[in-house]
Amino acid sequence: MTRDWDALLTRARAGDKRATARLISGVEEGGGTARAVLDQVWPRTGRARVFGITGPPGAGKSTLTNALTKCWRQAGLRVGILAVDPTSPFTGGAILGDRVRMGELTLDEGVFIRSMGTRGRLGGLSPASSGAIHVLDACGFDLILVETVGVGQSEVAVVETADVVLVLTVSGLGDDVQAIKAGILEIGDLFAVNKADRPGADRTANELRTMLSLGEEDKQELPVLLVSAAQNQGVAELCRAMEERFRQLEDSGELARRRTIRLQSELLTQIRDGMERRLLAPLLEGADFRQAMETFQARKGSPYQWAEEFVRQINMGGSGYGMHES
C-alpha cells in the first residue's frame, strides 16, 4: 500500500509523534520507500542543529543525553533524539536500553525519541541514521541529538552526520585516555568527563587536555568540561559550550564546509547503492557468476582478471555478463 507521505509529514510537523515514527520507519525500510520519504522531506531540511554524543561504553551517554534535553527544553527548544543501540542477534531490532533510561522524556510533547539498531554496521550508527535526521529536521525539531552505541577507537561515523561532536568519557575505565584516543579524539569538537563527583575525574580531564594539546603549535584549544549528568552538575555549562562551539563553526565557515562534505558523501552513497542494485545484484544471481566462481575455486582462472573485464565491458556500454575464462 502506498502511503501519503505528504499527509504524514504535515501531521508530523504539527506534533504528531506517530506520524514522525512512520516517516522514520519508511526510511529504515530502504529502497523505493526510503527514497519516497526523503524526496518529500528534503525541501524542508537544513535548519536543525545536529549534535553527536559519542564515547566508550559506560561513560553515561544516555544519562547525559537525558540531562541535556531537559536543559534545552527549559529554553523552549524542540529536541529529537536518535539513540543508537546494539542490534539484537535474534530479532535484528534495537536493544532499547537507551529508551528505558530516557523514559520520563517520552511524555514531553516537545521531545521525540527513536531507538535505532546498528544492524551490525561498524561506526556506532545505524545505516538509516542520516535519513532519520533529515526526517526530524523536516518535522521542525530545533535540535537533533545523535547518541551512538558505545564506540571504540575506529568507530567514528558520527562525524559524518553531526554538526558538533561531543566526546564523553569517565574516569575508572582502566587506562582512561587509552580508552578514547586515536580516531575518537580526532573527531571531537569538545569533550566532557562524566561522573565528575568520582575520584580521578580531574586527572582524566587533565590527561585529555594534555593529549589534545599535542601536535600543531597553532592548534585550537578544545574545551574539556567536567559534568555529573546524574546529579545535573555542569549540564547547563555543557549546553552553553556546545552552542558556543556551533556558533564558532558557523562564523568561521567550517560548518558550511562540513555540511557540504556530508551532503557529497550521502550523494555518493546513494549512487553506489543504486549501482549495486542495478549491476551487482543481477550479476550475483546469474549463472555466469556461479560458473566463474567454480572456475576460480578450481584455480583455472583469475578473479582479478575477471573483475577487470567485467568493469571494462560496463565502461564500453556492455552488460558485463557472459564472460568466461580465456
Cα–Cα distance list, 234 to 193, 226, 227, 228 (Å): 10, 7, 5, 6
C-alpha cell at 14: 504539527
pTM of whole model > 0.85?
Answer: no
Q: What gap in Å lies between CA 218 and CA 231, rounded to an integer?
A: 36
Confidence of residue 231 (pLDDT cuts 50, 70, 90): very high
Task: Give the distance from CA 164 to its chain's centroid.
Answer: 12
Give residue 175's pLDDT.
56
Q: Under a CB-based contact definition with an 8 Å cutoff, are residues 48 and 136 in contact?
A: yes
* Residue 85: strand pairing partners: 117
Domain layout of the chain by residue ranges:
44-252, 264-315
**Of 204, 157, 237, 186, nearest in space to 59 by CA:** 204
Cβ burial, residue 290 (10 Å; 0-12/13-18/19+): exposed
pLDDT, tens digit (0-9, with 9 covering 90-100), for 252-306: 999 999 999 989 988 888 888 888 888 888 888 888 888 889 999 999 888 998 8
Give residue 318's pLDDT.
59
Has residue 87 got a pLDDT over 80? no
Q: What angle do CA 184, 132, 165 make, to 5 degrees?
A: 25
Q: Which of 69-83, 206-220, 270-284 has the lowest mean pLDDT?
A: 206-220
Give residue 326's pLDDT.
41
Determine what percent of the chain is predicted with pLDDT higher than 90.
47
Q: What gap in Å lies between CA 165 and CA 279, rounded to an integer?
A: 37
Q: Class assignment of domain 44-252?
A: alpha beta
C-alpha cell at 84: 543508537
Query: What's the rounded mean pLDDT across residues 150-171?
Result: 76
Has residue 92 got a pLDDT over 60? no
DSSP states of 193-213:
EE-TTSTTHHHHHHHHHHHHH
Q: What gap in Å lies between CA 192 and CA 166, rounded to an integer?
A: 7
Has residue 102 got a pLDDT over 70? no
Q: What angle do CA 21, 26, 27 make, to 5 degrees?
A: 100
Q: Under a CB-based contact definition with an 8 Å cutoff, are residues 229 and 196 in contact?
A: no
What element of type H or E holds 170?
strand 164-170
**Of 85, 77, 67, 80, nearest in space to 126 by CA:** 85
Q: Where are the beta strands (DSSP E) in 9-98?
A: 49-54, 79-85
The residue to which cell 501531521 is assigned:
11
Amino acid identity at 102: M
Q: What gap in Å lies between CA 122 and CA 125, rounded to an integer?
A: 7
